[in-house]
Amino acid sequence: MVTDSVLLLFAGFVVNAISALLIVRGIYYQKRRDGSFIFTFLVFNTVIYFVMHLFTSIELSIGVGFGLFALFSVLRYRTETVPIREMTYLFVMVALPVMNSVFFRNGSYAILVLSNVCIIGVIWVLEKGWGWIYPQRQQVCYERVDLIHPSRRDELYADLETRLGRTILYHEVGSIDYLRDTADLVLYLDT
């Protein structure tokens, strides 16, 4: 026989999973088209939800949940470099089940729904770039150092835009190698 606590656990899991899937599949994947972090995001989210349910059901301190955050921050320094945007999504996927578990367990359903909608909404608006420009960054090794001079910027942009087929918003000059007549440029391209 299914008890009320099992139904409560499952209902909370469904709400948490829907929110996580909306963020990961509906926002992150639509923008990035990179599946390399999706497994990590969803597994972290799911496991932390059940761990937090365990913590709240056996009356352990919420401080133990924050101990998980400390553990994950230590793991951050022991693993390969993860881009800052993916770390932000990972933090959301860690914080979301903690919040959902506590709100669901306390019966704060309106706060749970409102907070999930707000988090999803903020992420969606930021990823859409409404009001902000997120230029794409690209490094190139450029062989025409004569065009690097600031007075020849228009010629530089015309040459690079012809080659790349993209509009250049601005650039940075890294290093110049006069022996090989090359320059390392960082280009910021219109998306």
pLDDT tens figures, 97-151: 888 887 887 888 888 889 889 888 888 887 877 766 667 888 999 999 999 899 9
pLDDT of residue 83: 74
Residue 61 has pLDDT above 60, yes or no: no
- Which range is least confidently modeled, 48-57, 67-76, 108-117, 181-190? 67-76
In order, the DSSP letters of 48-95 are HHHHHHHHHHTT--HHHHHHHHHHHHHHHHHS----HHHHHHHHHHHH
The tens digit of pLDDT for each residue in 80-92 reads 666 777 778 878 8
CA distance 185 to 113: 47
Residue 190 burial class via C-beta count within 10 angstroms: exposed 0-12, middle 13-18, buried 19 and up = exposed
d(Cα 170, Cα 138) in Å, to the nearest integer?
11
Residue 58 has pLDDT above 70, yes or no: no
Give CA–CA dist 137/191, Å, rounded: 10
Inter-residue contact 186 to 177 (CB < 8 Å): no
C-alpha distance from residue 5 to each of 10, 51, 54 (Å): 9, 15, 11
In one letter, which amino acid is 131?
G
pLDDT at 77: 55
